[in-house]
Amino acid sequence: MAGEYWQRFWQRRLGRRSFLRAAAFGAGAAALSGTLACREQAPQATPPPAAGEEGPPKRGGRSQAWSTVTFDQLDPHISVAASTAYFPRVYNTLVSQSQQKPDFFYYDLAETLEQPDAVTYIFRIRPGIRVAPNNLGVPERELDAQDAYANWERIKNEPRALASRFSKQFLASHAAQDARTYVMKTSDPYAWTIYNVGLAVSTIAPRELLANPDRLRTAGAGGGPFSFGRFVEGEGLSLERNPTYYRKGKDDRPLPYVDGIDVRIIPDRAARLAAFQTRQIHYYTAANFREAQQLMDPNNYYLIKEPIFSFMAVTMNAERAPFSDPRVRRAVARSINHEQFINVVHLGDAKVNGIVHWALGDFALPESELKSRYLVYNPQEARQLLSAAGYPQGLRIKMMYPANTGASGGGDVSQYVPILIENLRSGGIEVEQEPLDFGTWLDRYRRRDYDSSLSLNQVYETAEVPLDWHTSWGPAGDGVSWNIFRDPEIDAAVRRVKQITQSVQELVRAIHDVQRLIYSKDPSFIPLPSSSSNTLWWNFVKNNPGRLGLGVTALFLADWWLDL
């Protein structure tokens, strides 16, 4: 079991009560002006069934899933798009700790974790985890500590690896002491070590695949419950059951129960809904609570409702004019009417986001402070700022965005665009729109080839990456990609936050303070409001790990089945 040092700390951190306390339940219909017209009651999640109520597990069938965006690639350390949700299905993590329920640890490749001090992590590797049958030339052998070492060595040295921000800054050393012992040492105490170890983008692939990483772009097999099968970028992905997966279900039969998972790219909402209603896909995330309420039929579906740990954002390239001028960045900020997004896109069922989003509970700044100080809609002030910056007649900017896709904070990107364009125009900023297909947008965003962007985001279950967006190393830790904001004072403050491990109260205070510091510098990355997800599932999907409230950790669980 996990050592007491970190377990005591993280079990004292903010639990699910804080997330739910922060949720914006109860919503309203709105006119385009952003004023509430009436109040409606948002639907509540369907209570999970009692033990034994779903009957005995059944084997067989294929799960039918979807994505609104493409996969990017299948490399578990580099991809940033839809494929990240399936790395936990194919590869193993050492251990994953749920950030929504911090007392839940999923031990996978590591069967135990010892932490003798604040900087040492000793993982005892579980015997019996074998590489799935494959046609990639990878032996169907047991995974061992050398695999963990090879993967983290790659993450540390691969500039594009998403977990490299941790390994580059804090991983002082790591070693496979023997086949069953893998040891990490950080340079300093680090608040989110276990979280980074358990990320989908730090899963452990067989080391033979790392010798030729080009293979990882389009195929993969590991010790997880599935292997990648057919893959056509922009179209679909299939995963096939691993017959040698090491875990068993509650009936003592080998997992997984299903034969495979088929994932289709369906960017159009109407097409997704039609596919769901005809059982071509097994779940559907409604555009908002009202659609979920209209569709809900307890004879056929159950509803999972959770805070969304992501958001849309306005990103400005601070190393290009005019956004290198803090007055222009502030003018953009003062032109955004956050309440209008809440009321029009989310029908009132959302909350404003600061630098750290509301779903992270007390780590976010108080809503009253955000609304009164930092998220103030004042187009007159915006025009004055532009005039002072040398644009007395206003400003014209280019803004790219991914077209025809769902929004990462709820709703669809197409709902955000007209509101944002109207908002910016009110502050004297005209927008030359650059709608792009997702792949082109992602490539340009990754390379920082943009002036400004209305941007999707990944799921952020801690405050670490939201803060990293405002540093010189950026969210990828490479100092090159996505968004870079060069300010030594912010860099130093964010580094200090990452080293706080003794007190959750101290960590909360420090995260609040660094957010205020970032706002004082007129940030180039402005999160927009986000909602709660309302996902309808067909009743035949049983023992759904999504009902456990574990967040991303639930993706590693494979004991669900289809009662078709």
**Nearest Cα to Cα of residue 540 among 563, 556, 516:** 563
CA distance 473 to 423: 31
Tell me which fold the domain 18-37+309-532 belongs to: Dipeptide-binding Protein; domain 3 (3.10.105)
What is the phi-psi region of residue 106: left when phi exceeds 0, alpha when psi lies from -120 to 50, beta otherwise?
beta
CA distance 238 to 222: 15
pLDDT digits (tens, 9 = 90+) for 459-471: 999 999 999 999 9
Asked if 124 and 112 count as a contact pair (C-beta separation under 8 A), the reply is yes
CA distance 356 to 401: 22
CA distance 455 to 317: 12
- Both tokens assigned to 340: 């209008």
The full set of domain ranges for the chain reads 18-37+309-532, 56-263+540-562
Alpha carbons within 13 angstroms on the beta-carbon side of residue 338 total 27
Question: What are phi and psi for residue 533, nearest 5 degrees?
Answer: -80, 145
> Which residue(s) pair with 303 in the sheet?
536
Same fold for the domain at 18-37+309-532 and the one at 56-263+540-562?
A: no
Position 44 scores a pLDDT of 73
* SS3 assignment for 433-468: EEEECHHHHHHHHHCCCCCEEEECCCCCCCCHHHHH
> Whole-number mean pLDDT of the chain?
92
CA distance 250 to 239: 23
Distance of CA 474 to the CA centre of its chain: 16
Instruction: Output the tens digit of pLDDT for each of the chain's 564 residues.
Output: 433 433 444 444 333 333 333 332 222 222 233 333 334 556 677 777 876 789 999 999 999 999 999 999 999 999 989 999 999 999 999 999 999 999 999 999 999 999 999 999 999 999 999 999 999 999 999 999 999 999 999 999 998 898 988 999 999 999 999 999 999 999 999 999 999 999 999 999 999 999 988 999 999 999 999 999 999 998 999 999 999 999 999 999 999 999 999 999 999 999 999 999 999 999 999 999 999 999 999 999 999 999 999 999 999 999 999 999 999 999 999 999 999 999 999 999 999 999 999 999 999 999 999 999 999 999 999 999 999 999 999 999 999 999 999 999 999 999 999 999 999 999 999 999 999 999 999 999 999 999 999 999 999 999 999 999 999 999 988 899 999 999 999 999 999 999 999 899 999 999 999 999 999 999 999 999 999 999 999 999 999 999 999 999 999 999 999 999
How is 197-261 classified by DSSP, letter by letter? Answer: HTSGGG-B--HHHHTSGGGGGT----SSSEEEEEEETTTEEEEEE-TT-S-B-TTSPBSP-SSEE
Kind and range of the H or E run holding 401: strand 395-402
Domain 56-263+540-562: homologous superfamily in CATH: Periplasmic binding protein-like II (3.40.190.10)
